[in-house]
Amino acid sequence: MSESAKWYVVHTYSGYENTVKATIEKYVENRNLHEFIQEISIPLETVTEITDNGPKEVERKVFPGYVLVKMIMTDECWHVIRNIRGVTGFLGSGNNPIPLTDEDVLALGVEKREVVVGYHEGDSVKITAGALESFLGTVEEIDLDHGKVRVVVSMFGRETPVELDLDQVEPV
C-alpha cells in the first residue's frame, strides 16, 4: 500500500454514534476490509455528575454526532461508510473527505504515543543534531506532550537554555 491510513471524521445523526460504529465494524468483518478500515473510535470523557444518590461517574461523548475512523480512503470504503444508516457524510467539502492532521489526532487523544527517553531532568546529555551538535549540556525540563526538552548549554562562558526535540539529544 502506497497510502497510509489516516483518521477521518464521520458525521452521524445525534444518538446514532454507537450504531454507526457497530455497523462499520460489521461491514469490515463481512467484506474483509481490515487492511483499509483499521480503527473506529467515539471519543469519550469521564465526567462526575452529582445526583440525589451522590456523585456518579458517567462517560460522555466528547463530540456528539461524530465518529472517528482510521482508514485508507478508497472509493469502496467511502461508499460503504457513506451509505450506512445514520451517517450524514464525512467532514470535508462535498465528496472529498479531509483527514485529521497528526496534531488534531493527538489533541483529541484518539491515538496515544508513548515516548520513552533515556534521560531525566538533571542528567548530562550530548546534542546530536542541529546548530549545537556535539555540545554538552544538562537537562532542565522534559515536555513529553510537545516532544521537547530544554537543555542548559554553556556557550561563551554563559549558561544558555536551549529548547530541542527529544530525539536531538542523547545521554552522556
For residues 19 and 95, membership in a common domain is answered with yes
Where does a domain end: 61, 79, 108?
Answer: 108
* 49: CATH: 3.30.70.940
Residue 162 has pLDDT above 70, yes or no: yes
- Checking 81-86 for CB contacts under 8 A at 24+ apart, the result is 81/10, 81/24, 81/27, 81/37, 84/20, 84/23, 84/24, 84/27, 85/16, 85/19, 85/23, 86/12, 86/13, 86/16, 86/19, 86/20, 86/23
For residues 39 and 65, membership in a common domain is answered with yes
Global pTM? Answer: 0.61
For residues 83 and 166, membership in a common domain is answered with no
Residue 63 has pLDDT above 50, yes or no: yes
Q: Count the neighbouring beta carbons within 10 Å of the beta carbon of residue 54.
A: 7
| Mean pLDDT of the chain, nearest integer | 86
- 136 located within any domain: yes
**Closest by CA position to 110, among listed 120, 96, 124, 100:** 100
Residue 120 has pLDDT above 50, yes or no: yes
- Helix residue spans in 13-84 (DSSP H): 17-31, 75-82
For residues 145 and 90, membership in a common domain is answered with no
For residues 11 and 96, membership in a common domain is answered with yes
| Domain span holding position 87 | 6-108
The pLDDT value recorded for residue 139 is 94
Mean pLDDT of 127-131: 89
Condensed to tens digits (0 to 9), the pLDDT of residues 6-19 reads 999 999 998 999 99
For residues 85 and 24, membership in a common domain is answered with yes
For residues 10 and 72, membership in a common domain is answered with yes
For residues 75 and 132, membership in a common domain is answered with no
- 31 located within any domain: yes
Question: How many domains, in total, are found in the chain?
Answer: 2
- 117 located within any domain: no
Where does a domain end: 108, 143, 163?
Answer: 108
**Closest by CA position to 21, among listed 46, 43, 5:** 43
